[in-house]
Structure 1
Amino acid sequence: MSELITADLVDLDLSAETKEAAARSLAERMVRAGRVTDLDGFLADVAAREAQMPTGLDGGIGIPHCRSAHVAEATLAFGRSGRGIDFGAPDGPADLIFLIAAPAGADDDHLTILSSLARRLMDGEFTGALRAEGDAARAAALVRGEDVPPAEDVPPAEDVPPAEEAASAGEATSAEEAASAEEAASAEEAAPAEEVAAPDADEAPTPPPFKIVAVTSCPTGIAHTYMAAESLQKAAESEGVELAVETQGSAGFGRLDPAVIAAADAVVFAHDVEVRDKARFAGKPTVDVGVKAAINRPGELIAEARDKAARGEASAPVAAGAPMDRGGELGDGYATRLRKWLMTGVSYMVPFVAAGGLLIALAFAIGGYEINEAKSVADHFVWTEVASWAALLFQIGGVAFGFLVPVLAGYIAYGMADRPGLVPGFVGGAIALTINAGFLGGLIAGLIAGAVVMAIQRVRVPAPLRGIMPVVVIPLISSAVVGFLMFLVVGKPVASLQSALTDWLGGLSGANAIILGAVLGLMMCFDLGGPLNKVAYTFAVGGLANPNEGSLKVMAAVMAAGMVPPLAMALATTVRGRLFTKAERENGKAAWVLGASFITEGAIPFAAADPLRVIPSAMAGGAVTGALSMVFGCTLRAPHGGVFVIPLIGQPLLYLVAIAAGTAVTTGLVVLLKGARGTVSADGGPAGPAEATTGADADRKVPVAA
C-alpha cells in the first residue's frame, strides 16, 4: 500500500481563491502522482459531493472529498491558503484544505487511515502544527500521523559559545532543583493523604455516569462520519459522560454491543443518510440531527440528551426519524411536516419519471406516435426492424412510468413512518392505479398509509410481540386498512376528481390556457427547485399518465419556464459581468449547461446571494415563457431533457422563441435592478446583501462605472 500523502501532494502556498480552483489545483497534483486517472471526471465527483453538503468546518478547515471511479488508490492532498477559501463553514474561510480521494472500491486499510485523519482534525495541536510547518515533507509526515521532531532552529551543541553553555547549564540546574522541590512537596502531601478518614457509612454513593450511545454517518462515509464521532467523544469526556459511538462509515460498520445499547440512558443520531438497523435503539430518549451538528455543537447535543432522559421521553414517533425530517426542528408545525412528507415521495418518484418518460419520448421519435399500438416485444421482435426497437423502448419506458404512482405513495408513507410505511404505501398506490385514481389517488394513498402505520406504532404491545410487529403485524393491518379505504371509501371520489382534471386539461384553450401557463411559470421560478417548483412539475407529470392535448401543453410550459432562471443568470453574467462577483461569473458558465438541461437549481447561487432582485426577475421571465408556450400551442411528451428533447416538441421553433423571450425578460430585469445599486465590491463585482454600505464598510466601496 502506497503512502497516503507525500511531499509532492502538499502545497503550503495554495494560491486558489475559490473552492473549485483549490480542488483543481490539489487534484492536478494527484494526477501527476498517478493517483487520479481522469481529472475532470474526478472533479465532477468532488463537485457532486460538495453539492450534497458544504465540506467546510469550524476552525478554518475544508475537506472536499469523494469516492470516485477515477481514483486509482486512496490518496490525500493538503493545501494551505494564506488568504482563506470559502468552503461554507459557519465561522468563515478555511486555510487548511484536505482533498480526500477514495476509489469506488477502496480497501479498509486506506479508509481506516482516512478516518484517523478525520479524527485528528478535531485536535487543535495537530492543526496548529500544520499551520506553523514550513517544509512540505514534514507536513506530509504530520498528516500521515508520524512523529516529527521539532525543527532545528539552534546551532549544534559543539558550536554553542561558552556563555550560552553556562546559561544552559544554569537552566538545567534550576530545572533539577525545581524537580527536587516538587518531589519534596509531594512527599509532604502524601503523609496527610494517608491519614484521611474513610467516608461515613451514611454518605451517599457516587451516582453512575450518564451513558449515551451514538451513531454517526455521512453520504460518503470518509470524513464527517469520523469527525463527528471524535467531536462527540471529546465533549462527552469533558462532561463526565460515558459515550459509545458506532461509525457507519466506509471503513467498516462495527455494531455496538446490544448490552451497551440496552444500558444506555439516551441515543444521539448524527447522520445525513439512513441509520442502519435503527430499530435497535427504539424506546430510548433520542436526539436526531445532521452529522455537522455533532461536529459543531456536540456539547449541546449531549445536554439535550440529558434533558430528554430527565423528562423520561421515549423515542419520538418513527416519523421524526424519517429521511425528510432529519433537518427539521422539533417544533415544526403540521404544514411543514406535510411538505416534507410530500417532498419525500416526489424526490423518489422523479428518477422513475425521467427514465420512463424519456424512453417513451425516444420511442416516439424513432417509431412515431403509433408505436403505442405495437404488439408486446416479448411476443414479436425483429432485430433488424427499427419499429421493433422503438416498441422495445416504449414498453420499457411504460413499465418504468407505471411505477410513478406506487413509488409516490410508498415514499410519502416512508417519509411519515419510515420503513414500515413502504408496504401499505405501495399497496395503496397500486390500488390508485387499479381504480384510475391516478396521481391524486397516489398522494392520498401515501398519506393514509403513513397515518395508519403511525397510529399502529403508538399502540402499546406486549414485549414478546414487538419482534414481529414490523415484519408481520404492521404490514398486515396497515395494508388491509389502506386497501379498504382506497377501494371502498375514498378511491371512487378521487378517481372522479382525477377524471375531471384530465378533461379540464384536455379542454384548455384561449385565456384559460394562457393564465395557467403564466401561473405555472411563476411557480417554477419562485423557489427554483423547491417545494412550489416541485408542485408545478408534479402536476405536469401527473397529466402525462393519461396524455391529451392540454396535458402535453402543460408539460411543455413547465419545462420551458424551468429553463429560464439559469439561462438568464448565465446571460446576465456574460453581458454585464461587472455586476456580479467573480464566483458568480464562474457559476454563470455552468448555468448555461444547467439551464439547457432543465435544471432550475442552477440559479440558486444567484438567488441566495441576492434574492430580492433575482427571484422576482426570474418569476417575471418564467411567467412570460409559460404563457407564450401556451399561446404557441407547444406540446411535450417527455417529462425532462431540456433542449435535448427539442425534436420531440410540438412547434419547436416557437418553443425556443418562448424560452428566449423569458430569458431576455429576466436578464433585463436582473441587470436593471443590480445596476441600480451603484456599488461594486473589492473583487470587481457588486456589493452583496452581506456587505453593508454603511459605517466603516462604506469606505471600501467604489462607484460603478457608468
Structure 2
Amino acid sequence: MKLTDILTRDNIILNLRGDNQSDVIDELVNKLDQNQLINDPEMFKEGIYKRESEISTAVGYGVAIPHAKNKSVIKPTIIMGRTLQGIDYGGQHTNLIFMIAAPENASNEHLSLLSQLSTFLMSETFRAKLLVATSESEIITAIEEQEKLTEVDSNDESASGKYLIGITSCMTGIAHTYMAAESLKEAAEKRGMKVKIQTNGANGPENKLTTADVQKADAIIIAHDVRVDTSIFGGKRYIDVPVKKAISHADQLIDQALSYDIKEDNVDNTMVAKESESEEKSGLNFYKHIMSGVSYMIPFVVVGGIFIAISFMFGIYAADPESDQYNVIADFFNQVGGEAAFALMVPILAGFIGYSIADKQGLAPAMIGGMMASIGGSGFLGGMIAGFVGGFVAKYIGQSMAKIPKSFQGLVSVLIVPLLSTLIVGAFMFFVLNTPMSMLNVFLENWLKSLTGISAAILGALLAGMMASDMGGPINKTASAFGLAMFAANIFEPSAALMVGGMVPPIGIALATTIFKNRFTIQEAEAGKASYVLGASFITEGAIPFAAADPLRIIPANIIGAAVGGALCMAMDISLKAPHGGIFVIPIACNKPLLYIGCILLGSFITCLMIGLMKKPLSEKERNNAKQMSSII
C-alpha cells in the first residue's frame, strides 16, 4: 500500500476558505464527512481538539498535522488543505494542513503510512512543490516522487563519518515522533554522518537500538514528550530535549551532542547520565527520588484505605474476633488492607527511593530500612530517610567496587553491596533514628488530634491551597507527602482536605467554562468538558492548560476555592481513609460523604465565580481563534 492510497485527489483542498484555525478544522472535518470517511463528525472533531489541547500540532515550516484516532473513523485517511495566504495555527504561521484520521483498529501498515508523511514534510523541496502545485494531480505526483526518493536506505552503516543514534517519542506516536527522527536524520546526513534513530511510535519501538549501536555511537540525542527507557545508553552522555526542539533545532542539537566526545565515556550499564542535569549526576535530585517512592507507594495506600473502609462498614469492631460484632468478611478486608497493604506502605516508599538512587542495588537495604522504620515507630518520615540512606550507601559501595574483576561482579551486586549497605542502614535506624523520630511522630499525631475549630480550619485551608497552587508541582507534592505521612500514622483528616484541594481546581474551571462560556475560546470550552471527569477523579492536572494560559486569574481562583473547601472540611472533622480516587472512593472511605461532597462543590463554585468575575468576555472572533494552551505547559 502507498501513501497515495489514503491521501487521494478527493481529499485535497487547494484553497481553504477559513482564515483561522477553528474554521480550517471545521472545513477539513466537513470534507471527511462528505467523502463518507467518518461517521460522527462531532466525535472526530472532539478528538482533534483534545489532541490540540495536549500540545499543538503545528510543527513549524508552515505545516500543521492535526490528528485523531477514534471509532468515528471508517478507514485510515489523510486530508490535505492549503492556504497560500497562511493562517495562525497554534501560534505559528501555517500554509499546509494535513489532517490524519485513524480508526481505533488501524493496522500497523496504515500507521506507518501516516507517519511516513511526517518524514516527507521535512524536505524543503517537497513542501515547495506542494505550495506551487496548481492541481490535485500535481500534489499526488509530488508525493509519488518523494516516495521514490526515500526508497534508498540512508541508514547504511557502511557510509563514512561519525555515527548519530537517538530515540524520538511523542504523546501519540503518529506525527511528531517521525518528524523529529527525520529532522535529525536529515541534518546528520548533510554532514556525512551515519544515523540510526529509534522511533517509539504508535506501533511500538521501530528501528530499535542495540548495544552495538551504543558502542559505535559518536553522539546520542533523545527527543521525547513521554518517558522513554534510556538504560541502554549506560554511562554515555546524551542530549535530552522535547520533540519539537529536535524538529526545529536539529543542527544545534547535533553540535552539542558531538561536543560531549562520548567515545571517552566509561560505560557502566547500571547508570544513566544526563549531561544537562547536574543534580542527577551528583545523585542529589531529592525531589525526583521522593516522588519515585511515593508513586510506587500510592497503590498500597489506596487499596489499604479502601479495604479498611469496607471493613468498617460491617461495624467498628467487626474485624476483631473477640468482639460481638465480629464478621469474617470484615476480618478479611481488614487483614488485606490494614495488616498487609498498610504494613507495606513505608517499606515500599523507602525501597523505591533507594531504587531511584542506586537502581537494584539500593532496593534491598532501603526497603529493609523502611521496614525498620515501620517497626520502630519512625513511620513515613523515617522511611523516607531510610530510603535515602540505603540508596546512597548502596550507590557509594557499588561505585567503590567498580574496579573489582568482572568475574566477581555478580558476587558484589548480589551479596557484598546489599549485605554491607543493609548493615549500615539497619544500624543507623536502630541506634540513631528510630527513637527521636518516633517521638517526633507522637508529638505531631497528638498535635493534629488536638486541633479543632479555627485551628483545624487553618490547617485545612493551608493544605488544600497548597494542593491547588501548582497542580502537581513541588508545592502540591509537598502537601501530598505530609498527608501521606499522617495517613500512615492513621490520621485521616488531612487526606480529606488534600483531596478537596486536588478536585476543586478542575471542577471549578469546568463549571466556569459552562456558566461563563463567553470568557473562553471554543477550544478551551471543549477542554472544560473533560475537566469535569478529571476533577471528579482527583486528577488536578486537568486544570494546568487553563492556568498556563491565564495564570494571574486562574491560579488565585483555584487556591481560594480550594482553601475554603479544605477549611470547612477539617473544621467539620471530615476524614478520608483513601487519599486517592476522587468520587469513586468517597461513598465508602469518607465518614461524612454528603458533607464532604458539599465542601468540594462549594469550593468549586467559589473558583468558578472568581474566574467569571476576573476574566473579561471575549468577542465572537476571539472565541473562534483558539489559543494554544498546551505549548507552555
> Which of the five TM-score ranges fits, normalised by the shorter chain?
0.7 to 0.9
Deviations 1:308-344 (A, max 9, x none): 21995657997765xxx89x75578999932233233
**Counterpart for residue 621 of structure 1:** 561
**Counterpart for residue 218 of structure 2:** 265
Aligned partners of 2:17 and 2:24 also within 8 Å: no
Using the alignment, how far apart are the partners of 1:216 and 1:689 within structure 2? 23
1:499 aligns to 2:438 (yes or no): no
For CA contacts below 8 A with separation 6 or more, give which structure has more relative contact order.
2
The structure-2 alpha-carbon separation of the partners of 1:86 and 1:530, relative to structure 1 and needing over 3 Å to count, comes to farther
The structure-2 alpha-carbon separation of the partners of 1:473 and 1:244, relative to structure 1 and needing over 3 Å to count, comes to farther
**Counterpart for residue 296 of structure 1:** 248
The structure-2 alpha-carbon separation of the partners of 1:684 and 1:39, relative to structure 1 and needing over 3 Å to count, comes to closer
**Counterpart for residue 117 of structure 1:** 117
Using the alignment, how far apart are the partners of 1:110 and 1:650 within structure 2? 52
**Counterpart for residue 454 of structure 2:** 511
The structure-2 alpha-carbon separation of the partners of 1:132 and 1:506, relative to structure 1 and needing over 3 Å to count, comes to farther
User: Following TM superposition, by how much is the alpha carbon of 1:440 offset from its aligned partner in structure 2, in angstroms?
Assistant: 1.4
User: Following TM superposition, by how much is the alpha carbon of 1:525 offset from its aligned partner in structure 2, in angstroms?
Assistant: 1.4
Aligned partners of 2:29 and 2:45 also within 8 Å: no
- Percentage of pairs with the same residue: 36
**Counterpart for residue 596 of structure 2:** 655
The structure-2 alpha-carbon separation of the partners of 1:333 and 1:453, relative to structure 1 and needing over 3 Å to count, comes to closer
Deviations 1:158-182 (A, max 9, x none): xxxxxxxxxxxxxxxxxxxxxxxxx
SS in 2 for 1:490: helix
SS in 2 for 1:683: helix
SS in 1 for 2:261: helix
Aligned partners of 2:53 and 2:628 also within 8 Å: no
The AA in structure 1 aligned to 2:446 is: D
SS in 2 for 1:617: helix
The 10-residue stretch of structure 1 (617-626 or 486-495) with the greater mean CA deviation from structure 2: 486-495
**Counterpart for residue 168 of structure 1:** none
**Counterpart for residue 357 of structure 2:** 416
Using the alignment, how far apart are the partners of 2:50 and 2:75 within structure 1? 18
**Counterpart for residue 172 of structure 1:** none
The 10-residue stretch of structure 1 (330-339 or 530-539) with the greater mean CA deviation from structure 2: 330-339
The equivalences for 1:228-267 within 5 A come to 228-249=180-201, 250=203, 252-256=205-209, 258-267=211-220
The equivalences for 1:323-472 within 5 A come to 329-330=277-278, 337-362=285-310, 364-365=312-313, 367-373=314-320, 395-398=335-338, 399-418=340-359, 420-456=361-397, 458-459=399-400, 460-462=402-404, 464=406, 468=410
Aligned partners of 1:343 and 1:531 also within 8 Å: no
User: Following TM superposition, by how much is the alpha carbon of 1:559 offset from its aligned partner in structure 2, in angstroms?
Assistant: 1.6
User: Following TM superposition, by how much is the alpha carbon of 1:489 offset from its aligned partner in structure 2, in angstroms?
Assistant: 3.5
SS in 1 for 2:221: strand
After superposition, the CA RMSD in angstroms is 4.8
Match of 1:211 among 163, 188, 209: 163
Using the alignment, how far apart are the partners of 2:528 and 2:391 within structure 1? 42
Deviations 1:436-487 (A, max 9, x none): 4332133222322332344345434156359646666655554454444334
**Counterpart for residue 571 of structure 1:** 511
Using the alignment, how far apart are the partners of 2:390 and 2:58 within structure 1? 39
User: Following TM superposition, by how much is the alpha carbon of 1:407 offset from its aligned partner in structure 2, in angstroms?
Assistant: 3.6
Using the alignment, how far apart are the partners of 1:289 and 1:71 within structure 2? 34
The structure-2 alpha-carbon separation of the partners of 1:39 and 1:670, relative to structure 1 and needing over 3 Å to count, comes to closer
Using the alignment, how far apart are the partners of 2:59 and 2:611 within structure 1? 33
Using the alignment, how far apart are the partners of 2:108 and 2:542 within structure 1? 36
The AA in structure 1 aligned to 2:167 is: V
User: Following TM superposition, by how much is the alpha carbon of 1:236 offset from its aligned partner in structure 2, in angstroms?
Assistant: 1.4
The AA in structure 2 aligned to 1:633 is: D
Deviations 1:635-669 (A, max 9, x none): 22222343444434333443344334433433333
1:531 aligns to 2:474 (yes or no): yes
Aligned partners of 2:346 and 2:379 also within 8 Å: yes
**Counterpart for residue 609 of structure 1:** 549
**Counterpart for residue 580 of structure 1:** 520
Using the alignment, how far apart are the partners of 1:46 and 1:416 within structure 2? 40
The structure-2 alpha-carbon separation of the partners of 1:61 and 1:479, relative to structure 1 and needing over 3 Å to count, comes to farther
Using the alignment, how far apart are the partners of 1:647 and 1:291 within structure 2? 42
The AA in structure 1 aligned to 2:216 is: A
Using the alignment, how far apart are the partners of 2:372 and 2:31 within structure 1? 51
**Counterpart for residue 153 of structure 2:** none
Ranges in structure 2 where 5+ consecutive residues have no aligned partner:
149-159
SS in 1 for 2:471: coil
Deviations 1:580-632 (A, max 9, x none): 33333333333333333333223222211111122122212222211111222
SS in 2 for 1:563: helix
Match of 1:683 among 614, 622, 628: 622
User: Following TM superposition, by how much is the alpha carbon of 1:214 offset from its aligned partner in structure 2, in angstroms?
Assistant: 2.7
The structure-2 alpha-carbon separation of the partners of 1:53 and 1:586, relative to structure 1 and needing over 3 Å to count, comes to closer
Using the alignment, how far apart are the partners of 2:315 and 2:88 within structure 1? 53
Deviations 1:490-535 (A, max 9, x none): 3443333333333332332233212211111220111122221122
The structure-2 alpha-carbon separation of the partners of 1:532 and 1:72, relative to structure 1 and needing over 3 Å to count, comes to same
Aligned partners of 2:504 and 2:603 also within 8 Å: yes
The AA in structure 1 aligned to 2:472 is: G
Deviations 1:264-296 (A, max 9, x none): 3343333455555724x3344433334443333
State which structure, 1 or 2, has the greater radius of gyration over its C-alpha atoms. Answer: 1
Aligned partners of 1:23 and 1:99 also within 8 Å: no
The number of residues matched between the two structures is 605
The AA in structure 2 aligned to 1:232 is: L
**Counterpart for residue 231 of structure 2:** 278
SS in 2 for 1:633: coil
The AA in structure 2 aligned to 1:59 is: Y
Using the alignment, how far apart are the partners of 1:552 and 1:462 within structure 2? 50
SS in 1 for 2:603: helix
Using the alignment, how far apart are the partners of 1:537 and 1:20 within structure 2? 43
Ranges in structure 1 where 5+ consecutive residues have no aligned partner:
149-207, 376-385, 691-706
User: Following TM superposition, by how much is the alpha carbon of 1:141 offset from its aligned partner in structure 2, in angstroms?
Assistant: 8.1
Aligned partners of 1:247 and 1:254 also within 8 Å: yes
